[in-house]
């Protein structure tokens, strides 16, 4: 998986094509990502109400559903372009470390702080 939580991405396929969003959560098992404000579905929930409340209306809440990671492309924080991600091994304080590289500007794409 090349996408991490906190990454800025653009949707490249489907209903939300062209939308820019932020990754809220990554599901490695099924290769999907949860994006802020993307793929929102309405869900009816019944809120327990007090017995003497006259109306018992089901409440509609909106939740985001994960979309397949193949439908998004990472936006490089360095060159601000949608890009493919490569990996590179570097020496970091005597240890080998795998970093992500933007294929457009060849700079490291750092993991965003949550």
99 is an interface residue for Zn ion by CB under 5 A: no
CB 23 within 8 Å of CB 4: yes
11 or 109, CB closer to Zn ion?
109
* Options 5-13, 17-25, 43-51, 97-105: segment touching Zn ion (CB under 5 A): 97-105
19-49 burial string, b = 16+ CB within 10 Å, else e? Answer: bbbbbbebeeeeebbbbeebbeeeeeeeeee
85 is an interface residue for Zn ion by CB under 5 A: no
- Per CB under 5 A, contacts with Zn ion among 24-83 are 76, 78-79
Contact set with Zn ion (CB under 5 A): 76, 78-79, 102, 104-105
């Amino acid at each position: 998986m090349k996408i991490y939580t906190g990454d800025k991405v653009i949707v490249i396929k489907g209903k939300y094509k062209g939308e820019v969003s932020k990754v809220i959560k990554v599901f490695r098992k099924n290769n999907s990502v949860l994006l802020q404000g993307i793929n929102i579905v309405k869900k009816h929930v019944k809120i327990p109400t007090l017995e003497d409340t006259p109306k018992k209306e089901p409440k509609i809440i909106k939740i985001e559903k994960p979309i397949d990671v193949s439908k998004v492309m990472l936006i490089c924080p360095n060159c601000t372009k949608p890009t493919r991600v490569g990996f590179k091994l570097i020496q970091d304080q005597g240890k080998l470390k795998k970093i992500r590289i933007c294929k457009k500007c060849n700079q490291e794409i750092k993991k965003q702080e949550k």
